[in-house]
Amino acid sequence: MLLGMLALPRAAWSAAADDKSGARVAFFGFHLINTSPETDTAAEDRRIAQLDELFRQQVDASRRFKIVAIPTDVQKEVDAGPAITSCNACGHDIAKRIGADLAAWGTVQKVSNLILNINVYMDDVHTGQPYFAKSVDIRGNTDESWRRGLDYILRHYLLREP
């Protein structure tokens, strides 16, 4: 069940009203932020990979955005550096270098096995300004709840028709 959403001013997150149609997106993947007393699991690692694939597929299939492949050497640089989620916009420079207009990433915050939060972020790499940010709370640490949470963000916010 989806319980809540982060509300930002419309100008900061609404792709539907923006002129970024066809924008090239450097997607840096989802990252697990585990603030629960439980340790990370192999199932959560697999779910992160599934969210990555779901995001790439749905965003690319929308034809409103084009996912830009991150070259292997650049991906190694990203992996060796600070986390994209907390590197003071380091993803902007990397996205620009590979010809992207937007830098995108996501997080899954695990508060417990019952309470999780999925977040999607996109920044305009030319202006440095947020383009899209949305969050949903999910209940249950399952493949289905994770998939439904991301699907909700994509269908109802990022990829919704204007």
pLDDT, one tens digit per residue, over 13-28 is 344 435 567 899 999 9
The pTM score is 0.85
Gap between the Cα atoms of 148 and 162, Å rounded: 22
Cα-to-chain-centroid distance, residue 41: 20
Query: Which residue segments constitute the domains of the chain, with CATH numbers given?
Result: 2-158 (3.40.50.10610)
Statement: residue 79 has pLDDT above 60:
yes
Helix (H) / strand (E) element for 64: namely none
- The mean pLDDT value of the chain amounts to 87
Instruction: Find out whether 32 and 44 touch, Cβ atoms under 8 Å.
Output: yes
